Amino acid sequence: MSRELFPHRKVRERLPITRRGFVLLGAQLAVAGALAWRMRQLQVVETERYRHLAEENRINLEVLAPARAQIFDRNSKPLAINKTNYRVVMIREQAGDAQAMLDRLGLLIDIPDHHRRRVIKEINQRKPFVRVGVTDQLTWEAFARVNANAPALPGIHPEVGLTRHYPHGSDTAHVVGYVGRVTQKDFDRIKQSGAEPEPVLSTPDFQIGKSGIERAMEHRLRGEAGSRQIEVNALGRVIRELDRYEGLAGQDVHLTLNLDLQRFCHERLGNEAAAVVVMDVTTGDLLTMASNPTFDPNPFVLGISRKAYGALLEDDHRPLHNKWASGMYPPGSTFKMLVALAALEEGQITAGETFYCPGFLKLGRRRFHCWSRGGHGWVDLRKSIEQSCDVYYYEVARRVGIEKIGAMARRFGLGVAPDLPMTGLKGGLIPTKDWKVRNRDENWLVGDTLNSGIGQGFVLTTPVQLAVMTARMASGIGVKPRLVRAVDGKPLMPEPPVDLGVSAQNLRLIREAMYDVVNSSRGTARRQRIADEAFRMAGKTGTSQVRNITAAERARGVYRNEDLPWHRRDHALFVGYAPADNPRYALSVVVEHGGGGSTAAAPIARDVMLWLRDNGLMSGTVPSGQGAVPVQQAPT
């Protein structure tokens, strides 16, 4: 009917709803629901997170390097300080073409070629947003020119910071050390130790300890890094500073070093390749650790030129080598006191027992020679040290054996690196039978024991170890060396001494003989005696060979040191203490290729001891009850 009444209308036919329609509808609703849920997550649940991310688009967080602590001597004289440093840094992502920007900056200030090479290398190695130092130590005028042209130098940022300075330069270089820019080698070293490099290490021109106290006490000196929040615009230009935390400065360090004495020792050594160590026998304080020749550490702080560094490396006197800490030398006759002491303690000899010295000792087909070609005749303990008879110690060493000798040497500080906050410390070498098997794949021979008995062969020591040995010999106690007197204003007490476990009577015999070395008419160092009776010095000379003397050379006459090239001459050594009757200071002197210990090393030791007396440093004495062993003065 409806079709008839309204013929022009079309009636839609209802189609059935299929299963596929339901699926599509459900999918559409799911997608819409997911979008709605995600929008709620972004706008409600995670709104704080994305607000912070948006803030990072305009707020930068920068790490601020802390002020490095200062280093002082025992009298509070500054050895390492901080100076204002006007510098320029570059950010690659802002600068674009780094080389072109350096060329443009070079129109305003001088940029050395080695600085340019370093900048390009660092920029290629680091992330684009990391600031890289371009140049340092600008004058105020140059710094002002860069600031005035800053709008035309995108990515170039002038900054005011601090840099390390060593006011006494070469006098303390081997003790204090120096700092330098952080390199990839430093990062690798830190990672190898199992630690993660701190973010402050990536700040431009951050300086890290490279040697000496600066490196050994890096974490105390460095302090804690600070930070600042800055607001920047789209171009990266700083608009304002929002927040700042200055961090914590490092802890100042006071050393036991006496700067005036250190300076005197370097002056006294002149052009010699040598080392001097002075130690307080009561506290273990190291007053002087002089390694000569030395170098100025200040150029290393900002990067030394290749030419200057090459000149230091090519110097045959090795100014970069810390001789007192890592120079290893045969101790020569300065070792004989320990051999004698080991034999006395083991009951292998007595003070009055004598050996005959014809100038050599025959072992099988080999002759072991004494330094005195004609020999010393009949020799007892006191005369053997006074005149340094080698044959006496060949006999004694053969009796007591290398194991007992080595055990005594280690009691007196040889063969073990001293526990000091210092880089490059060597432990020397006190050989044993097992050592030779492990390292040489050879059995120990009697001849090895004889050579060790006079401080030759495999025996190696450092100047600081010889000073420790002498201090223990002088005081009778196992005093331990120390280099740091106070940290952050808090004094550090000396470590308690160890018990040497040695007879006081036997020590007295050795010390009486050491007195004769300097003060008797036939002592090897008699020409260096100190006339002041209240300030007599006791000691022992030593000469260590650096070349083999052939039988043919002995037959025609051994060459004198002065007739040989410098590098083939013997090393000269002297160890001693003063005052002889109540010791206060012990010292060791090693002069590389100096010839004889009595002529090259002993005069230096005498002058150092006189300086100590003349500058009022001899007022103290060994406290009672600490094992000091008095000696009877021999007639002069």
List strand residue ranges (DSSP E) for 68-202, in order.
71-72, 78-91, 131-135, 156-165, 179-181
Strands 226-232 and 59-64: antiparallel
Q: Which of 558, 625, 572, 538 is nearest to 372 (CA)?
A: 558
Burial profile 286-300: b = 16 or more Cβ within 10 angstroms, e = fewer: bbbbbbbbbbbbbeb
Task: Give the helix/strand (H/E) hosting 245.
Answer: strand 238-245
DSSP for 380-408, please give it: -HHHHHHTT-HHHHHHHHHHH-HHHHHHH
Task: Supply 116's token pair.
Answer: 């340019």
Residue 301 CA to residue 91 CA, distance in Å, equals 22
Q: Which of 211, 291, 333, 452 is the catalytic position?
A: 333
The residue type of 576 is: G
Task: Give the helix/strand (H/E) hosting 608.
Answer: helix 602-614
* 326 in catalytic set: no
**Computed from CA positions of residues 487, 493, 494, 498, in that sequence, does the dihedral angle turn out positive or negative?**
negative
Name the percent of the chain in helix, strand, coil, to the closest 5: 40, 20, 40
The residue type of 289 is: M
Tally DSSP H helices, then E strands, for the chain. 25, 21
Angle (CA) 100-103-109 rounded to 5° is 145
Q: Which residues are catalytic?
A: 333
